[in-house]
Structures are given as structure tokens and as C-alpha cells.
Chains A and B, each alone.
Chain A
Amino acid sequence: MQMRDHLIEKIYNHALKNKDVILISNEQGAQALDKFRKELPTQFINAGISEQNIISMAAGLAKQKKKVYIYSIASFITLRCFEQIKLDINLMNLPVTIFGVGASYSYDTSGPTHHSIEDISILRTMKNLKIFSPSDNNILDYMFNYSLKSKNPLYIRLDRKPLDVLSSNKFNFKNGFRTFGEMKSKKIIISTGNMSHVALEAIKIYNRHSKEPVCFIDVFSTKLSIKNFLNTIKKAKLIVSLEEHILEGGLGSIIAELLFDNKINKKLDLIRMGINLNKMYTYKSRHLIHKMNKITPIDIVKEISK
């Protein structure tokens, strides 16, 4: 099931019990939304193509204790209304949950207007806004449960395409990341969102030929538990960060900042793999974009084999 439908279904089930739940869309449809619109018309607002007003108006609803969810294409509901997010929900610290569909290059051939490859960089600058980047519907469930109790604004970036469940194992959501296997290797791949699936493909290829298996961390929040993260990577000599997002300010930057700020002064190499600014605006398929930016499984294997 697509992530958006999975999440809307969750919101719908909760909205049945809680009349204060309001779901706002800017003319975006979804299979799961049809049921919501039909059965809970007073709790659904199609606010039209008006992202700036949607954020300000949602903040007003939240100020009056409504539980507000906003559904839109990720690039539209982050960039067009950046100042409204900054001031009306972030500065005011109002618990509005924005879920943007089309994270990274999900809308690959739709082009730059629909790509969301800089949202993490710009929204990381918000003090109160929490950013989530789920890699499967299992982790999305944790995010939805978190949203029910959250007193902060949230932004959840959803891939447009259905993603297989990477793992159903339990993990500590507060860490902001989950690990796969024992963290004993000196080589670690750290990725987020859909690229966690690409990372696992690369690891499968690498582990066929390598004596020392490579470890894997799936980061799903930009606010990591620093202590637990540093403890998890303490044996690493090489970290490869992987993202379908520009390198400026994205996941690789987050890790670099953490390592530098916490004075991890042992010999530790960090290779950041992601989208090059010179190649970011394109109408190519996702597969070709990965090739262009050298973030295919084979490219990743080459990096961790060095």
C-alpha cells in the first residue's frame, strides 16, 4: 500500500473516534481519501491550491485545539509556504502535522517543480518542527502514533511509491534511527527514506564477496539521540551516508555535524553520497537519476570497498 494511503487510513480510524481531527488537502486526491471525504465530510477540508493560507489557517485551527493534519505534495507544502511554516506553526509551536507526498525524486519524470530534494535542508532550520523520513509503513505507524501525542509541529516526508517493509522488529523510536544486525563492522552505511532500500541492495551485493559484513543504519528523524547514535557507530572506521536529497544540509551533513561537534577525533572517514547540485534539476527517471549521481547499489559497493 502506498504510504499516503496507509497514513490516511490511520488518520481516518482515529478521526472516527476524535471529532477534533481535521484533515486538510490542497486539491490532492488519494484512494484512502475518498472514504474519509465521504464518511467524515465535516472533518475534511479541501482548501484549494493555497499553501500559504493552508499553513496559517491550520495554525489557527490548532490554536483552537483542533488536531490538524495537512496532506499535500511535499515540494508544494514546504517551499511555497516556508515562512508560514517558520512563523505560524514552528515559532508558535502548534501541533500541526504536515505530510508531504513525493519525497525526493518520487515524482521523477514530473520534473523539478515536483521534486522534494531540499526539504530536509531547509526545514532542519526550524527549532520546533520535527522532520520524519520513513523508509516503510511499519516505521510510519510509529510516526503516526507519535503525532497523536505530539505537542510540536511535525513534517513527514512520504515516498510516492509503495515501499516494502524493511523490518518489523521493534526499536527505540526516540533514537531517531534503527539498526539492522549487530553493529560490529568497521564499515557502516547510513541512509534514509527510499534510499534505505537501495542501501540494503548494495549490502547484499557487498556481503557476497566480503569477509567483513557491512552494517546498516536507517535514519528516520533529523533529530537523533546523539549519545545513542555515537555509541552505535563507535567501532566504525568508514561511514557512507546515502540520500536522495541534495548533499547540502541533508543526512550526510547531519552526520558530519554530529561527528565534528562531538569531537570524534579518531580516524573515521565519512563519504557522503547524494544529489549533486549540478545534476538536481531533471526530468529523468529515478533509475537514471541514481546513475547520474552515482548512488546505485553498484556505486555504493565501490565506495565501501575502497
Chain B
Amino acid sequence: MISTKLKKISEKLRQLIFEVGLKNDGHISTSLSCVEILVTLYFGGFLNTTKKKFKNKDRDTFVLSKGHAETALYCLLFLKKFISKNTIYNSYNCGTYKLGSHSDHQVPGVELTTGSLGHGLGFSSGMALAHKINKKKYKHYVLLGDAECSEGSVWEAALFASFHKLKNLVAIVDNNNIGSLDYTKNFTSLNNLKKKWQSFGWFVQEIEGHSITQIISALKKTNKSNKPNLIIANTIKGKGLSIMENDPAWHVKKLTDKNEIILCKKELGL
């Protein structure tokens, strides 16, 4: 039942990402690969936070370490009532400052300003450690890109979280196999990602990242782990739009062709 509900919200979020991104040149393709992950965290009962609770320190947190998926996060925060309809439709990436083209901590619901990669895991480790010291059971979720795992700071944080047994830390890698320019296999060695993280002392699960059932199951399993948790979510960049799916060009390419726009709208049910 819950997965049916989350599937519908995912469809809505995809439509929003497309509408908002098309209007103001957002990061559409990279946002589409993490839709189900975000929806499950925020609407699946995992992330214990609301706009009202956001200023409290005692709550769950989510950090979008791949800060270039801000289109997805901002649209999701609109659905969660952190951001108004007027703001998401009229103040995104149009120079009014309210919402820029990377994740900004001044936006309600955003923990950390990101956009430069390799910051989120360390920051979330610090928050997780603080709650561990205080013997609080809140969880700290962080979403990384797979190409982001080229950053050395990611592995510094991985060692740190492992040593401190931060079982309240859940990192999810949006493993869409594409960086901003090319397929990851063409420029770095991210193969055997599961073994790499396991060797750093993490509890690692690998799932199909667009399957809500699998995301729910993996997130539930993190409750039983005694190690920091990593979920490798195998996803498709541009998921839901046939012209964008698994094509590196769409990381920055603008959608301008009328026929392509019509096709995208049709595929999204708009």
C-alpha cells in the first residue's frame, strides 16, 4: 500500500522537476535519478522532520551531498510544505536569489549548502557523532553521487564513520554511472563499489534505486546494523524521460526542441 502511495508521489515529483526545471533551466536529469530515494525518505516514514521541527537539533537530518540535484530537493520540499508554491514556480534559478541552482542552507529544509562535492558525508558524520555522544537515536541520511566518490574527502569520512561505528548514519549512493561529462567507467575506478565500502567497515546493501519496495526494505535493514550504513542505489540518470535516460549530455544540456518537450510531457503524463 505504502509503495503505491510513494509511487504516485514520485510521479508527481517527476512532473514538478520537469516543469520547474524546464522553466528555469534546472538540473533535470540528475534529479530524476534520485526521485524514489527522496520520496521514500521524506514520505515513507523514515525522515522524522517537518518545517516546524526543523530548527530543533533533536531530529533526523538529510543532507543532499550531490548538491546539483537541488531541483529534486526543492520540488520535494515544496511537496513537504517547506517551500511555497509561488517560490518553487517563480523564484527558482531566475536570479531572485531565493532558490539558486545548487542546494542552499538558507532555504527552509536544507541542512547544508552543497554544490561542491565531498562535503556531505563528513558533515553528516559530525551530526551523527553528536547524537551518538548524546545517546539520541536520530538518524542522519546523506545522498551522494557515484562520481562524487572520486573525492578523497568522501573516503576520509568513510574511515571516520567506520571507526566511530556511526550506525545512525545512512549514506545512499545514487549510482547512475554518469558524472557531469562522461560515464564513470571512462574516467575512474568505481567498479566493485560494494567491496570498497565493505572494506572500509560499512554495512553495504545494493538495490535497484527506482524500486520503492527495495528502498524501503534497505532503509529498514539499517535499523539492525551496528555499522555505518551504505546503500548503493543503482539508478538511471534521466529516469522517466526516454531522450535523457543514461545519456551524459543531459547533465547540462538545455531542453529546447519542441518535439522533445512534447515527448517528455507525454511520458510524464502532463
Contacts and interface: CB of A to CB of B under 8 A. Distances in A.
Identify whether the interface residues of B are mostly helix, strand, loop, or mixed: helix
Interface string B128-151: 111101100000000000000000
A63 B126 CA distance: 8
Interface in B80-138: 105, 111-113, 116, 118-119, 121-131, 133-134
* Size class of the contact patch on chain A: 20 to 34
B57 interface: yes
A50 interface: yes
A82 B157 CA distance: 17
A59 B152 CA distance: 18
B153 interface: yes
B268 interface: no
Contacts of B160: 47-48, 50, 53, 57
Given A60-B125, A61-B130, A50 B159 contact: yes
A28 to B, nearest CB: 16
Given A48-B159, A53-B157, A92-B105, A87 B113 contact: yes
A65 interface: yes
B182 interface: no
* Size class of the contact patch on chain B: 20 to 34
A64 B123 contact: no
Given A50-B160, A52-B156, A53-B153, A60 B118 contact: no
B127 A52 contact: no
Contacts of B152: 52
A64 B130 contact: yes
Interface in A63-91: 63-66, 83-84, 87-88, 91
B113 A60 contact: no
Interface of A: 22, 42, 45, 47-48, 50, 52-53, 55-66, 83-84, 87-88, 91-92
